[in-house]
Amino acid sequence: MRTALLGLGALIAALVFASTPASAQGYRLYPWCANYNTDSGLSNCSFSTRRQCEATISGNGGTCDFNSFYAAYGPYFPLGGPRGNGSGF
């Protein structure tokens, strides 16, 4: 029993220390943004296709535009930016 608990504890410790947080990889960018017709300039850039974006703004008003961050960085934005300072810029 004691050996099994020690083995289980070692396995859990190995898994915890071997894994890296998902946020260290950056975050997902999507190619399409819904820009709503509001005074606040509200936008939502979480659409994989233009059709998804258009379905979302349907009846609400707004436009679907290509995400300029997606064009600059591709599908993943690295955390830390060019200097690796963790700010994302």
* pLDDT for the residue 82: 54
33: buried, middle or exposed (CB in 10 Å: 19+, 13-18, 0-12)? buried
Q: Give the start-to-end residue ranges of the domains of the chain.
A: 2-77
* pLDDT for the residue 84: 47
Residue 17 token pair: 């220390």
74: phi then psi, degrees, rounded to nearest 5:
85, -165
* Mean pLDDT, 10 residues at a time, the chain of 89 residues: 63 58 67 90 93 93 91 76 49
* pLDDT for the residue 80: 65
Evaluated on CA atoms 41, 88, 22, 11, the torsion sign reads: negative
